């Protein structure tokens, strides 16, 4: 399978290969070769942000853009693994220059850069070399990548996020197979060519946590004192409410949160997985050594939380055959109870509007995770009508109301003592939404994908934000 030539010296990530090899797993068969073309239009987009009165921008660094990871075939590599990294992973100066230019442009326009180091795009070279996140070798390679980022950009970047939504990356890529690299057991999805849904999600999650801890330790020991920045991790979950008042459904709601939010928050706050995961997954869940646990515990200055929606949870028997991460919790989730949706559904998607859920989730995090400093790193709602005329597409009152109501409940959470320091809307522009392709539009600015011009148009919500933020 051949991926077309990529811009600026970037090499393929697992998502490049996945979208080209499996267009049937993308809702519209599209790929991310060119989305909104931020690479060439970043100055225009920074101006949009400045004109909207925003004061921060969250973006990620493409690993395969700054460290393309070309594989060189040398017998010496097999003989001396310790020099493997130096031989194989040269720095792409053009990629470094792009991110320097972007960061400088943001700062010159009064916007703080919030940088996510890894947002699901493992270089394909690492996947081909040793299986990517299925190998513990990923930890050292990620640490080296983070080191490069701190070294090149840390004098200006004061907020670092090690990983975005690691639970979704591990579950969708290695349990259901709907995301790159598309691994799962055959009994989960017969189209998966390889994988084990009962073990691989936990292996991947474990290596993600160890990589997070390694990067945080590196930053704190080598860079934080001089660069004076902060580092954290972004987690996500659908907030869970018990389907009924029964003890089993109340326990199921807590367990569902353990298997999503707690899977990564418990280790970074307390040094180990939630007890419910230990009990239900057993020996399939990897263990931390005492040294690893100590390194993980407290490995954050802040926690990023992505919130979109809330579901109901009810207890069901755990699977005894065809087991997987999805069945291990023994929880069935649904947005509908007694025929009534939990909230409005804007189009046919997973997202039901339940603004109170953001406050519920923040209070839950405050109570259970030592009241950390929190940034809402994603919150947003979709447009699904891709046949709308341009004037129709720019009218998005549902999104305006969504943000208004969520920000009200966010304010209540702050008054309740939750230590929230910032809020990021998802997203500035319509873009490529992973398995949904271009069928969902989260942007507060419309992007015309129809003719390759990719012109930006402010939606009603962009104007609302501009007015909201001017005070």
Annotated catalytic residue within 165, 200, 332, 395: 165
In the block, tokens 């070399």 appear at 129
From residue 267, give the alpha-carbon distance in Å to each of 36, 277, 311, 321, 363. 36, 12, 25, 28, 19
From residue 209, give the alpha-carbon distance in Å to each of 14, 58, 107, 115, 219. 20, 22, 31, 18, 15
Task: Classify residue 351 by burial, with Cβ atoms within 10 Å: 0-12, 13-18, 19+.
Answer: buried
Q: How far does the chain reach from its first CA to its final CA, in angstroms? A: 52
Kindly provide the residue ranges of all beta strands, DSSP E only, lying in 362-448, ordered along the sequence.
Answer: 374-378, 420-423, 445-447
Q: Which two tokens stand for residue 10?
A: 């970037």
Helix (H) or strand (E) holding 112: strand 112-118
Alpha carbon distance 307, 192 (integer Å): 29
Annotated catalytic residue within 36, 127, 378, 433: 378
CB atoms within 10 A of CB 89: 23
- For 194, phi then psi, to 5°, come to -160, 160
Query: Is 165 one of the annotated active-site residues of the chain?
Result: yes
- For 115, phi then psi, to 5°, come to -110, 125
From residue 173, give the alpha-carbon distance in Å to each of 295, 299, 430. 26, 25, 23
Alpha-carbon Rg for the chain in angstroms: 22
Cβ atoms of 84 and 133 closer than 8 Å: no
Alpha carbon distance 254, 270 (integer Å): 17
Query: Is 70 one of the annotated active-site residues of the chain?
Result: no
Size of the chain, expressed as the number of residues it contains: 471
Q: Which two tokens stand for residue 256?
A: 């569902």
Active site residues: 165, 378
């Amino acid at each position: 399978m051949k991926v077309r030539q990529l811009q600026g010296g970037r090499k393929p990530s697992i998502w490049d290969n996945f979208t080209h090899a499996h267009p049937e797993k993308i809702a519209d068969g599209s790929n991310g070769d060119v989305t909104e073309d931020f690479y060439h239009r970043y100055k225009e987009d920074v101006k949009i942000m400045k004109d909207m009165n925003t004061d921060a921008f969250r973006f990620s660094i493409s690993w395969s853009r700054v460290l393309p990871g070309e594989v060189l075939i040398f017998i010496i590599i097999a003989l001396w693994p310790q020099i493997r990294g130096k031989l194989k992973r040269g720095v792409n100066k053009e990629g470094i220059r792009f991110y320097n230019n972007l960061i400088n442009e943001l700062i010159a326009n009064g916007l703080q850069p919030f940088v996510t180091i890894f947002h699901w795009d493992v270089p394909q070279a690492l996947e081909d070399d040793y299986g990517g996140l299925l190998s513990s070798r990923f930890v050292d390679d990620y640490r080296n990548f983070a080191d490069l980022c701190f070294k090149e950009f840390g004098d200006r970047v004061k907020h670092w996020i090690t990983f975005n939504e690691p639970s979704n990356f591990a579950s969708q890529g290695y349990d259901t197979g709907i995301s790159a690299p598309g691994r799962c057991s055959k009994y989960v999805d017969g189209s998966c060519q390889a994988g084990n849904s009962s073990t691989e999600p936990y292996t991947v999650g474990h290596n993600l946590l160890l990589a997070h801890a390694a990067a945080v330790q590196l930053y704190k020991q080598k860079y934080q004192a001089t660069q004076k920045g902060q580092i954290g991790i972004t987690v996500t979950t659908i907030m869970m409410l018990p389907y009924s008042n029964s003890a089993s459904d109340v326990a199921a709601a807590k367990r569902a949160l353990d298997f999503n939010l707690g899977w990564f928050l418990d280790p970074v706050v307390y040094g180990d997985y939630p007890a419910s995961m230990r009990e239900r997954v057993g020996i399939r869940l990897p263990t931390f050594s005492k040294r690893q646990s100590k390194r993980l515990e407290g490995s954050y200055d802040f926690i990023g939380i992505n919130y979109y929606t809330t579901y109901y949870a009810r207890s069901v028997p755990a699977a005894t055959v065809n087991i997987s991460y999805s069945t291990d919790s023994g929880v069935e989730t649904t947005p509908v109870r007694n025929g009534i949706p939990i909230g409005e559904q804007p189009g046919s998607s997973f997202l039901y509007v339940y603004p109170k859920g953001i406050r519920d989730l923040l209070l839950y995090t405050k109570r259970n995770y030592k009241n950390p400093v929190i940034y809402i790193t994603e919150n947003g709602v979709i447009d699904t009508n891709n046949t709308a005329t341009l004037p129709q597409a720019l009218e998005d009152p549902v999104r305006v109301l969504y943000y208004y109501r969520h920000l009200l409940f966010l304010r209540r959470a702050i008054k309740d003592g939750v230590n929230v320091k910032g809020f990021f809307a998802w997203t500035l522009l319509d873009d490529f939404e992973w398995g949904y392709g271009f069928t969902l539009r989260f942007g507060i600015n419309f992007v015309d994908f129809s003719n390759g011009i990719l012109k930006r148009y402010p939606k009603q919500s962009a104007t609302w934000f501009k007015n909201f933020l001017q005070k």
